Structure 1
Amino acid sequence: MAIGVLPAQVNGWPPANTSDSDSESAASPPPKTPPSPLSAVNGPSSLRRPSFWELVPLCDLYSIVHVVLLPISLRLSYTTSSTHNGASTPTGPNGTTRVNGLNGHCQHLAPPTRLAGALAGLGLGPSNWAATGVSVFTAILPTADGYVNHSDFLTLRFQDCPFPISKIQESVGPLRRYTACRLSPAAVSSEDAVADLIEQAAGVIQWADLEASASILDLQRYLLGLTHELRDRLNNAPWLTPHPIARKRVALIRGRPSLTAGGPVYRAARALGLDLVIIDDEGHWLQPDTDENKIHREAFLATDMTEDSGVADRILASITRYPLPIHGVFTLSDNFFATTARVAASLHLPTNPVSAFETAVDKHRSRLLQDVPGHTARVASLAELDALLAPGPNNTQPAFNAPFPLIVKPTKGWSSECVSKVSNPTDLAVAVRKATSRHGSAAVIEPFFDGPEIDANFILLDGEILFFEVADEPPCRADADGASVHDTFSPEALTLPSALPEREQEVVRETLGGLLVKAGFRTGVFHVEARVVGSGCEYRAGGEEGGKGVVDLLPREGERGKGVECKLIEINARPPGFRVSVPSRHTYGVDFFAAHMLAAAGEAERLRLVARPFDHTDEGRTKGAQYWSRLVYVPAPKEGVVRWPTGLAPCEELKRRRPDLAGNIVLAVDYCVPGERVGMFTDGARTYVAHLLVCSRVSRKEAIEAGEEVLRALKIEVEEETA
């Protein structure tokens, strides 16, 4: 680490034998004459904020430069004295070396300094250069030349940073070449040199100002903590790739239904330098060539998306008519997975086999990847159900002999819609009727696997697992022992990182990763739902409050898990939905939508770069997670019309009413607007009106408690409609 000081400013920082005490030294007599401002020594042109810098070789990938601007009022309270090394050091009224607790007055400002100009040129720096706070900036300097993989790299890596940020300026656009600075402490010996580094940095972060009363020791501790946090976020994450990146164009088949659902996709495409073309029905909201829509996509190709045998040919015709080349196609709509793969194969673009997607979207076929003979069946009608359950020849056992409870669900479906838990033969027909009524598909009947439910997310490249995470889904209504066929599996929350033991997470990784490859998948993003049977953990109330603590996944009392197995529920050959992707992006710093598009474009090297989680290793958290997080789903409380009695959206109203909770809320999204009608259920699953992500850097328990309190405190007013 090299510490430099701007000449005729706060030289020799930190001074020898620095104390963080605010009291003045009694050993030094007061001066015989009033102290003179430094301008008396250096002239009016030096009336500027005193500053110093710190050059840190952060890791193999980056060096950083911290630049600190002290209040100008501090400078005018100082005289100069000679230090042990002869440097000019500011002193207090009785000769003590200090940077806190002094008040001065600025009558005028000097012309802008070179450093001020460098910061201002990036849109940084305080609006008032006589500000009373301590301003801190960090310049990020990659150590090797390269090409920019992601223009929002710092924004993503520093989201929810525990050190408050005023602004992030990323100075390099996507795909452009960046030339690294060749740094040596000796070369950074003047304000001009520091200004040069600011101007050459790939990005600069302006941190929230510190109080002017902060002592030098406080400032030292702050910079050490800042450096540690920077290392955890950047140590394993290259911003640049050594090879030139060709600009590519990708087509999204089936645009998202709203900006809320599609925003993360469109933002990721811009940051990656990918031109985005949308293919969807006439009348889609992204079709008009408005200035706003042009921000999100390059073009819209109106296409008849009716799901029939000719839809792939119609999409192909739209793409071939487009005058510019398409380098990849992708979708986020489950019912277009196989169609998109057929289109990609016809155009010789990167894709997984069509057969792999056909297996994933058919819940009966995907269940057969891990089937026990006689425990999984498919029926298209009640008549087929009766035949399935009928005794075999000579009154032998039926071909289907799975024990209750059972799960019945549509072979084609998503979001836990029309999924039922069946505990007796009487309810089996009810569940089959419900499942076959959805999407006109057959119903799959399979065992109910008793154990913690999980979401497992994978990023694969040629069968190699680049990134893997497990999130815990607490029990829902249908998990209860007394659940009826009408209770749903609609999720209620999601907690990251998982509380499962490391060895059980490894079983999940090996089992589900193997099933993805077995199905035929090699590259892409996959959201897989499963249960861990025989786990050493169970959901129960913990703590010392006689079982009154929060319900969480805790070690079983007595016998621990033996013969742990991971049982597949379903494969989603895409990122988690826009709501469920939020915890991963914020907790681990991995953007699944960026990875999904890079996989579609065949960008293997860049896919590796975006699959790097944080490098936090704090005790109690999974490596790579910056905190514990809890995603809270807010269901509609009843049917009716949404009202905002205060004029504020419910999530915003909550944050203002409960500032004690606002500090834990990372993200809050309302789905409904005043006057909109909502029902209790949508397509056989619970209707949600909002979601919130809360976090804790203290413990998983605190994150869960905050999530539960947020759900209790959030006021969603739904007015019943009168007849």
Structure 2
Amino acid sequence: MEIDEPLPGHVADALTTLSALDNVPASSTFQEQLEQGLPSLSTYRSKVDETYRTVGIRFIKALTNANFDLTTCYDLGVSIFTIIVPKASGYVTRSDFLRVRLEDCPAVIDIYEKPEPLESYDISLVHPGSCDPGALFPSTLAERAPGIVQWADMDPSVVPDLESHLLSLNQELKVRLDLSPWLSPHPIARKTLALVRGRPDSTAGDPIYSVASALGIDIVVVDEEGHWVQEDSSENRRRRKAFLATDMTEDEHTADRIIDSLKKYNQPVHGIFTCSDNFLVDVAKVADALDLPGNPVSSFEISVDKCRSRLLQDVPGQTACVKDVAELEALLAAPGDGQPPALSPSYPVIVKPSKGWSSECVSKVSSPDDLATAVQKATELHGSRAVIEPFFDGPEIDVNFILRDGDILFCEIADEPPCDADARDATVHATFSPVALNLPSALPQDEQEIAKTTLRDILVKAGFHTGVFHVEARMVDSRCEYRDVGGGVVDLVRKQSPPQNPPSCRLLEINARPAGYRVSVPARHTYGVDYFAAHMLAAAGDHDRLRMLARPFRHTLSPEGSSIPCGAQYFARLVYVPAPAAGTLWWHNPNLSPCAELMSRRTFKSFQLTESEIVLGVDYNKPGDRVEMYTNGVRTYVAHLLVASRRSRYDAIRLGDEVARCYRVAIEPPPAKRRSSAKRSVA
């Protein structure tokens, strides 16, 4: 907007309100000005003189320069902007700090962030106590401030409530920004990290590459020749600093080849990390050989071997690792000297590969007759041994940790609803493929504390001290169980009769890395904590920023009817959508993905009355892709969606169930099956 343009009436009203700061003495502090509040709008309507008009035009110009779209301003209402000013000078911890902390914040339309990562910011530019009086003008503040938030316009009918509305916006900012420092008091060195395996595609990779850029971390990708991020395109140059083509064959020389590639690169590399389970041990070996930050190699060797990790919490006589059915039969046989067999399982038991992920080939065995079948299935995957362990009956949980030197910086617990294999009549062929995830957990607080303490101690016992860890477990003898709570909604509720034994937490699996992107990204939305950022900062040895960014929101929810500070901004449900059949996948609308179609459907608008919404949706396939129903014994997923409710967990689950029912794709059967079925499968 040019300086001599007339000021639109509706913007003038908004600007006169925002210009309240101009009438406060320059000697007062910025906080004092805020605490004095804004006088009524009518007071300022009478003061829109040429001075205020000039200030207003400068303010609009500053907003325009910050790329705000002022055409969205409501013609008859009040437009509201908040200028964000840090409390102290320092160095930018991440350049998208406001966007992360204000993600899914109600009423936010747009966010402007000026600083680049790692650069210094001097608050004397905007602090009234240490700069010229002209800095008090909103226009000057907008030009110099590191961040500005544009809020949804107020309808003219509610303008009399402007003051209370502004106070509520200020409170929302406080619970989001207070705990997590924007600026570091110390200079932050720019570092380069090697990423082993650059992720299979941009959907999985960009959440990592974008975070690295915001942190001021350069990424060098180590992966196979021909990987998608190797191409020298402008997009890939933004993603990574360099690509080191390396033979990634999984053998005893993998770590040596990675070391060789990094040495040939001949540029400083300050750390190394991966998000791929089958390279965790090799990356630890490289870090150890090059004296880079990391956990002991032995710790990763334990975590990736489910036989060894089970021994961290062993059940004598109920646990075994076998290489084949013959070894199983030998363990089940009595030695003949009056001693019991080495393995005397109490059914049901779990059989799973010692190496694997995503519940691949995991079986629940309820009868001795099915044990050999399950062992054979498990040993055929990756040439693994089979782990035989008790089935721990109780609610399953995902527990995510950020540790620094063994101390918990952040921990959150999510509930995983029952899957097919949890049914009492489940067969050996039923899968443990998850159907959803609920955040935050509804377990009693004392049980959550038991889980946190038990699993943290197991991680430390394995030798881990710093980083991000995704741990799966079950609460045995919990006071809660899954039941229908009305309307077809199944959730955790208190048992009618409490168990006789005290609750205990039983480890299922250690993943010494963040959860997959479909879980890590929703956790960032819910808590404001970015696991990928923490993973990289730990790898870089940047413990100061790791501590600063591992802080959740300060919201309070009431999962049990009482106010509990849990750090979550809402009740969330992550919905997994499995492929309904094997074949070629097609969208019903070729120009609109199924997730986008769901997010635009008017039938879900009614849920907004319960403060519920679809937060995000990700489709994994494009039209024409071939999909299978199962991959290595687990369900193949075609999408995930995150839904949320600010009112209740019940509403979040109800909306999630509705979204799962309404997700629709068409599956065209393979040619061999088309003769018997002329119709497409629809889900």
1:368 to 311, 333, 345: 311
- 2:46 — aligned with what? 90
In structure 1, give the amino acid aligned to 2:143.
Answer: E
Tell me whether 380-389 or 46-55 shows the greater mean CA deviation.
46-55
Classify 1:286/1:332 alpha carbon distance in 2 versus 1 (closer, same or farther; 3 Å): same
Contact 1:418 1:684 in 2 (8 A): yes
Contact 1:537 1:561 in 2 (8 A): no
Q: TM-score, normalised by structure 1?
A: 0.84
Output the CA distance in 1 between the equivalents of 2:30 and 2:373. Answer: 60
**CA offsets, 1:256-301, max 9 Å, x none?**
0011111111111000000001000111111111111111111110
**CA offsets, 1:146-178, max 9 Å, x none?**
000010100000011112x22111011100001
- 1:10 — aligned with what? none
**CA offsets, 1:536-579, max 9 Å, x none?**
00001124xxxx54110100112257411000000000000011
Tell me whether 550-559 or 273-282 shows the greater mean CA deviation.
550-559
- 1:146 — aligned with what? 90
- Matching of residue 379 in structure 1 with residue 322 in structure 2: yes
2:12 to 26, 30, 49: 49
Classify 1:415/1:396 alpha carbon distance in 2 versus 1 (closer, same or farther; 3 Å): same
Q: How many angstroms does 1:192 deviate by?
A: 6.5
- 1:709 — aligned with what? 658
- Matching of residue 565 in structure 1 with residue 565 in structure 2: no
Q: How many angstroms does 1:217 deviate by?
A: 2.2
Contact 2:401 2:408 in 1 (8 A): yes
Classify 1:592/1:391 alpha carbon distance in 2 versus 1 (closer, same or farther; 3 Å): same
Contact 2:284 2:294 in 1 (8 A): yes
In structure 1, give the amino acid aligned to 2:88.
Answer: A
Q: What SS class does the counterpart of residue 558 from structure 1 fall into?
A: coil
- 1:398 — aligned with what? 341
In structure 1, give the amino acid aligned to 2:519.
Answer: V
In structure 2, give the amino acid aligned to 1:710.
Answer: V
Q: 1:631-670, aligned counterparts within 5 Å?
A: 631-647=574-590, 648-660=592-604, 664-670=613-619
Output the CA distance in 1 between the equivalents of 2:408 and 2:82. Answer: 34
- 2:249 — aligned with what? 306
Q: How many angstroms does 1:132 deviate by?
A: 3.8
Output the CA distance in 1 between the equivalents of 2:460 and 2:597. Answer: 47
Output the CA distance in 1 between the equivalents of 2:334 and 2:73. Answer: 87
- 1:721 — aligned with what? 670
Q: How many angstroms does 1:623 deviate by?
A: 2.0
- 2:184 — aligned with what? 241
- 1:104 — aligned with what? none
Q: How many angstroms does 1:112 deviate by?
A: 7.4
Q: What SS class does the counterpart of residue 450 from structure 1 fall into?
A: coil
Q: What SS class does the counterpart of residue 372 from structure 1 fall into?
A: coil
Q: 1:585-600, aligned counterparts within 5 Å?
A: 585-600=524-539
Ranges in structure 1 where 5+ consecutive residues have no aligned partner: 1-42, 79-86, 92-98, 100-108
Output the CA distance in 2 between the equivalents of 1:511 and 1:123. Answer: 49
Q: What SS class does the counterpart of residue 425 from structure 2 fall into?
A: coil
In structure 2, give the amino acid aligned to 1:144.
Answer: A
Classify 1:552/1:139 alpha carbon distance in 2 versus 1 (closer, same or farther; 3 Å): same
Ranges in structure 2 where 5+ consecutive residues have no aligned partner: 673-683
Q: How many angstroms does 1:126 deviate by?
A: 1.2
In structure 2, give the amino acid aligned to 1:206.
Answer: Q
Q: 1:604-643, aligned counterparts within 5 Å?
A: 604-620=543-559, 622-643=565-586
Output the CA distance in 1 between the equivalents of 2:63 and 2:436. Answer: 43
In structure 1, give the amino acid aligned to 2:640.
Answer: H
- 2:60 — aligned with what? 116
In structure 2, give the amino acid aligned to 1:155.
Answer: R
In structure 2, give the amino acid aligned to 1:281.
Answer: E
1:250 to 171, 180, 193: 193
Q: How many angstroms does 1:389 deviate by?
A: 1.0
In structure 2, give the amino acid aligned to 1:525.
Answer: V
Q: How many angstroms does 1:411 deviate by?
A: 0.2
In structure 2, give the amino acid aligned to 1:295.
Answer: R
- 2:354 — aligned with what? 411
Contact 1:168 1:203 in 2 (8 A): yes
Classify 1:69/1:285 alpha carbon distance in 2 versus 1 (closer, same or farther; 3 Å): farther
Q: How many angstroms does 1:246 deviate by?
A: 0.5
Q: 1:529-608, aligned counterparts within 5 Å?
A: 529-543=472-486, 549-559=488-498, 562-608=501-547
Q: 1:324-339, aligned counterparts within 5 Å?
A: 324-339=267-282
Q: How many angstroms does 1:374 deviate by?
A: 1.6
Contact 1:533 1:564 in 2 (8 A): yes
Contact 2:73 2:153 in 1 (8 A): no
Output the CA distance in 2 between the equivalents of 1:251 and 1:711. Answer: 38
2:237 to 284, 289, 294: 294
- 2:675 — aligned with what? none
- Matching of residue 475 in structure 1 with residue 408 in structure 2: no
**CA offsets, 1:590-636, max 9 Å, x none?**
00000000000000000001100000124335521100000000000
Q: How many angstroms does 1:237 deviate by?
A: 1.1
1:205 to 131, 142, 149: 149
- 1:30 — aligned with what? none
Q: 1:420-569, aligned counterparts within 5 Å?
A: 420-543=363-486, 549-559=488-498, 562-569=501-508
Contact 1:281 1:305 in 2 (8 A): yes
Classify 1:389/1:45 alpha carbon distance in 2 versus 1 (closer, same or farther; 3 Å): closer
Contact 1:114 1:192 in 2 (8 A): no
Q: What SS class does the counterpart of residue 142 from structure 1 fall into?
A: coil
Q: How many angstroms does 1:678 deviate by?
A: 0.8
Output the CA distance in 2 between the equivalents of 1:63 and 1:465. Answer: 37
- 1:195 — aligned with what? 139
Contact 2:317 2:345 in 1 (8 A): yes
In structure 1, give the amino acid aligned to 2:149.
Answer: I
Q: How many angstroms does 1:208 deviate by?
A: 2.3
In structure 2, give the amino acid aligned to 1:208.
Answer: A
> Identity of counterpart residues, as a percentage?
55
Output the CA distance in 2 between the equivalents of 1:386 and 1:468. Answer: 42
**CA offsets, 1:490-528, max 9 Å, x none?**
100000110000000000011000000000000000000
Q: How many angstroms does 1:110 deviate by?
A: 8.2
In structure 1, give the amino acid aligned to 2:92.
Answer: V
Q: What SS class does the counterpart of residue 137 from structure 2 fall into?
A: helix
Classify 1:427/1:63 alpha carbon distance in 2 versus 1 (closer, same or farther; 3 Å): farther
Q: What SS class does the counterpart of residue 468 from structure 1 fall into?
A: strand
Q: What SS class does the counterpart of residue 579 from structure 1 fall into?
A: helix
**CA offsets, 1:345-397, max 9 Å, x none?**
11100010000000000001000001022221111111111111111133532
Q: What SS class does the counterpart of residue 231 from structure 1 fall into?
A: helix
Contact 1:651 1:714 in 2 (8 A): yes
Q: Which structure has the highest helix share of the two?
A: 2
How large is the Cα RMSD of the aligned pairs? 2.9
Output the CA distance in 2 between the equivalents of 1:458 and 1:640. Answer: 39
